[in-house]
Each structure stands twice: as structure tokens, then as C-alpha cells.
Structure 1
Amino acid sequence: MITLYTDSSPNGFKITIALEELGLTYHLRHVNIDQGENRSPAFLRLNPHGRIPVLVDESNGITLFESAAILLYLADISGQLLPVEPAKRWEAIQWLMFHAASVGPVMGQRVHFELFAADKIPQAISRYRRLMDEAFTTLDNRLAEHPYLAGDEYSIADIAQFGWTHIAQVIDFDFSTYKHLSAWYQRIGARPAVQRGIALPTRATGA
């Protein structure tokens, strides 16, 4: 049995989308971050860093945190959402890592400094807007030549990127000028499994 510990966040949505796409049976445990449940002793035993998502696969004795690691694990046990041919497989992993290292952290910092920080620091806001523009330009250029980040196949790289792009849309970070990224976002967002995934455990409602 797979148990997913998650909340309504971009990193959480990556895993609910993947599980819905794969049609795997899983139990959902809502970890309410606003109420500090991610800092409880029970949760910290699963992830000492105190962040969601966490996936526990009792049948294999596996407990994982970090969304990219969980996506790779789900692709591995299902044989889906990751190309088989080595060059294409590594291309998908490359774009998954690009998201994990260069897109998610930048967007997270922009959200913090622009929306949540008590003191609005113009230099920080400007920096993370610029870095986000550079990352989105890279994605837009890639998607100008390919329907999906891994090339011709929908993969965990797309699922990872969609989680944060969806939150950008929810909180009105406008990316409409990136026409290929915007078209990709609409195309991925229309998938039934994606629609189910972003509704779990509850829909994101903005900052």
C-alpha cells in the first residue's frame, strides 16, 4: 500500500498528479502545513526536514521525501512516465533536474520575497523576477521545438514543471508572454488526471 503525505502545494501536486496518471492505489494523508502538522514528531520521523511530500510504500519498505526522487520512484515501479530508450530517458531526467534545481527554488524565492516577506526588498524581488524570466525563457524555447519537455513523450519532467507553473497561474504570476510554455500549460492542464491531481488534498486558492 502506498501512502502519500501531502498538502496543497506545487511540490505536493506533482505527486498527486503522477499517482492519478498512473492509476496506482494509494492512501492520502493531508498534512496541514498552516497548522504546523509538518513539524510534528510523527511527521519528522518520515522527513527530518519537515516538508511535504512524503511517500511511504509499505509493500517495498520504501519511504521517500523530495518530489523529484518520488517521481523517479513511481516511474521506476510502474514502468511509465519515463522513456525507455536511454538517450530519451536521460533527456527526461535532465529536464526533471532542471526543474528541481533551477525552476522550483527560484519560483519559491520569488513567492516569498514578492508576496510573503514582511519587508519588500526591491533588489530581491528584481533578482528573482529576472531568474524566473530566464528559466521560463529556457522552457519556452524548449517547448517551441517539442510538445513535451522530454521530446515527444509526456513524462515526469512535465508533471514536475506543471506543479509550479500551476501555482504561478493561481497567484497571478503572468507567463502569457511565453507562448509555447502557455500552450503547453493549457495542454497539460486539460488532462483528466492532472485535473484530479490539483484538487488533492484541496485546491490551491492563491497566496
Structure 2
Amino acid sequence: MIDLYYTATPNGLKLRLFFEETGLAHRIVPVRLSAGDQFKPEFLAVSPNNKIPAILDHAPSDGGAPIPVFESGAILLYLAEKTGRLYPSDPRQRLELSQWLFWQMAGLGPMSGQAGHFRVHADEPLPYAIDRYTREVQRLHGVLDRRLQDRRFLVGDDYSIADIACYPWIVPYAGLGQDLANTPSLQRWFDEIAARPATRRAYEGVEVPYSQALSSQARQVLFGNGAAEPAR
């Protein structure tokens, strides 16, 4: 059994997508970010960066003690290698997959998060920040669009964890100031993934990120605490 420490954020939804696609046995452990659950000692023992998602694998392949894994990209790689699912067997394709997975972790996710923050959650409008991050997300969408012009998915014709990593960060495109009509190959890819039964199950009842402002209490917990904040 695998414990999934989860909130329905783009990064958390990557793991929901993986589990829905594979049917791998797991137990969801809700982490209420707006209530400060991410600062509790029991969560920090699994995810020292106080971020979701994280997992605790109680049945690792080596038969040893339970293994905690944090960082969504690392978790996807760990689970794909453990199961052999959504992960190509060809070494060259694995290299391609790693590049697009790391590209998402280093670029698409952080830049989209900054665009969403300054467009929706900032205390006051900061035109420079809004323009800076909105334009960067636009550029990254263009990178994906060019990649997908001659292939069905990011790594050839097979759906993989590279696609799973990127998709949740495209879902809130409107709140990030983007229009997928401007990137037709990305739109085609997005629509195909959105129609998958596993995607529909993972997103059932989930609110699109950056679609509305947060409460003042949630803002204080999410944006007012740092790594040195005492655990509660």
C-alpha cells in the first residue's frame, strides 16, 4: 500500500492521474493546506519541504522499510520505475521523457504558478510581474505546441508520465492569461488527455486553480509562512 499525501493542486493532481491510470493500490491522506497541515511534524517527516504531494511506500521493491518520497517529478519517476507503467522501455525514449519531465518541474510549473499568483492572488496588481510571467507561460506553451506538432504525446505515440506532469499545469490556462486556440497542437493534446476516463475520474469535483481569489485566512497560511515557521 502507498500513502498519497494529497491536495487537489496541479502538482497533487499529477499523482491522482498516475494512480487513476494504473490502478495502483493507494490510500489518500488529505493535507489541508489552508489549515496548515503541511507544517505538522508527521507530514514534514515525509515531505521536509512542507509541500504536497508526497508518498510513503509501505511495500518498496527491495522489501525494506517504508520509503518516503517528496517532489512530484521524483514521485512519478519512482512509481513509473517501480511499476513499469507509463514509462518507455527504450533508453533513448527514457532520456527524452526525463528531459520533458525536468522541463516541466523547472519551467512550466514554477512559471505558471507565478503567473497565477500575481494575476489572481497578489495583494495588489503588479503590472511588471503579471506581464513577465504571463509572457513566459505563453512562451512555454509555444514550446509544447512545437513539440506536439509531429507526435501524439510528448514522447512519441505513448502516453507517459511526461504528459501527466504537464497536463495539470495546462488545465488553468485561462487564469494564466492564455488561449489554447493560439497553440493548436497543444489544444489537440490537451483535449485528448482531458477525454481519458482516468483524467475524468481524477478531476471529478476539482475546482480549476486560479479561477477565484483565496480567503484572507487561506492567503495568510499559504503565503505568510516560511520554512522556519514552527510546526503546528
Q: Is TM-score (shorter-chain normalized) higher than 0.5?
A: yes
Q: CA deviation at 1:170?
A: 6.9
Bigger mean CA offset, 190-199 vs 2-11: 190-199
Tell me, yes or no, if structure 1 residue 36 matches structure 2 residue 36.
yes
| Paired position in structure 2 for 1:51 | 51
Q: CA deviation at 1:167?
A: 2.8
Q: Structure 2 residue aligned with 1:195, among 192, 196, 200? A: 200
Q: Whose RCO is larger (CA < 8 A, sep 6+)?
A: 1
Q: CA deviation at 1:153?
A: 1.3
| Paired position in structure 1 for 2:77 | 72
Letter in 2 for 1:19: F
Q: Structure 1 residue aligned with 2:126, among 117, 121, 129? A: 121
Q: Structure 2 residue aligned with 1:134, among 121, 136, 139? A: 139
Q: What is the alpha-carbon root mean square deviation over aligned residues?
A: 1.5
Among all aligned residue pairs of Structure 1 and Structure 2, give the percentage whose two residues are the same amino acid: 39
Aligned length: 205
Tell me, yes or no, if structure 1 residue 180 matches structure 2 residue 180.
no
Residue segments in structure 2 that go unaligned for 5+ positions in a row: 61-65, 213-232
| Paired position in structure 2 for 1:147 | 152
Q: CA deviation at 1:173?
A: 4.1
Q: Using the alignment, how far apart are the partners of 1:151 and 1:134 within structure 2?
A: 22
Q: CA deviation at 1:119?
A: 2.0
Alignment of structure 1 residues 163-174 onto 2, 5 Å: 163-169=168-174, 173-174=178-179
| Paired position in structure 2 for 1:22 | 22
TM (norm. structure 1) is 0.94
Q: What SS does the aligned partner of 2:172 have?
A: helix
| Paired position in structure 2 for 1:2 | 2
Q: Using the alignment, how far apart are the partners of 2:67 and 2:44 within structure 1?
A: 16
Distance 1:170 1:190, change over 3 A: farther
